[in-house]
């Protein structure tokens, strides 16, 4: 009963407040945010380039000229398993980088977290703060990664096959793959922030305020 009364007296901040604080933290730590966003963008760009490259190659093998089909069939043999392995590794490295960066952010923001908890912020608000911050970086990084990866592959195929390539690009599957890449990028950014967010929410307010970085 006493615990319920304590929870009722705590200040519950809105999602709007959490969003504003997340934006402020990104602006304050802009350099670190750029690094996290760039790592997400690179991972998603690699994924997007592989997906789009396979999509265009399949379209050319189905409907392209015979000479192009022969070349693509020779190149495609045994390449899919390597691509899957490389994409998986790049995304794992991306998750590890996000987790490491967020853990460093938790260490730097101990006093800030302690102050918010002393003012009545609930554990779930602290978690929400870190998840929102990481999600914002994930959205920006994923969109940039999809744009860079798709544009790079389209330009590369244009240089190899000429303007005819635009007749064979399946645009609807391309949009679906782009959406999947963005969704996966946001997911890995959230996954990378889960442990640091949980760790920050479990801090004791007094200990967090006293801690020296």
* Neighbour count for residue 130 (Cβ, 10 Å): 27
Identify the pLDDT of residue 149. Answer: 92
CA 137 to chain centre: 7
Say what the pTM is.
0.80
Maximum separation of any 2 CA atoms in the chain, in Å: 78
Torsion angle in degrees (nearest 10) through CA of 15, 19, 22, 28: -140
Identify the pLDDT of residue 186. Answer: 93
Q: In the chain, which residues have pLDDT < 70?
A: 1-15, 60-81, 206, 208, 210-213
Q: Which are the contacts of 175, defined by CB distance < 8 A and separation ≥ 6?
A: none
Identify the pLDDT of residue 63. Answer: 57
Rounded CA gap, 82 and 79, in Å? 5
pLDDT digits (tens, 9 = 90+) for 72-121: 554 455 566 677 788 888 888 888 888 888 888 777 778 878 787 777 77
Identify the pLDDT of residue 106. Answer: 78
Q: For 27, phi and psi rounded to 5 degrees?
A: -65, -40
Q: For 108, phi and psi rounded to 5 degrees?
A: -70, -25
Q: Is 77 helix (H, G, I), strand (E, B) or coil?
A: coil
Q: At 2, list the tokens.
A: 């006493």
Identify the pLDDT of residue 120. Answer: 75
């Amino acid at each position: 009963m006493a615990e319920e009364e304590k929870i009722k007296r705590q200040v519950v901040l809105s999602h709007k407040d959490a969003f504003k604080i997340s934006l402020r933290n990104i602006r304050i730590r802009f350099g670190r945010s750029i690094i996290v966003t760039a790592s997400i963008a690179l991972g998603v760009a690699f994924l997007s380039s592989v997906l789009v490259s396979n999509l265009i190659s399949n379209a050319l093998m189905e409907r392209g000229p015979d000479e192009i089909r022969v070349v693509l069939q020779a190149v495609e043999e045994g390449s899919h398993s390597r691509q899957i392995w490389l994409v998986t590794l790049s995304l794992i490295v991306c998750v590890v980088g996000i987790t490491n960066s967020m853990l460093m952010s938790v260490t730097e923001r101990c006093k800030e977290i302690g102050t918010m908890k002393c003012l009545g912020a609930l554990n779930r608000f602290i978690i929400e703060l870190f998840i929102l911050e990481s999600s914002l970086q994930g959205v920006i990084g994923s969109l940039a990664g999809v744009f860079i990866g798709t544009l790079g592959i389209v330009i590369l195929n244009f240089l190899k096959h000429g303007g005819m390539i635009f007749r064979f690009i399946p645009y609807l599957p391309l949009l679906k793959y782009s959406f999947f890449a963005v969704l996966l990028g946001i997911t890995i950014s959230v996954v990378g922030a889960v442990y640091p967010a949980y760790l920050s929410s479990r801090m004791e307010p007094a200990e967090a305020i006293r801690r020296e970085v």
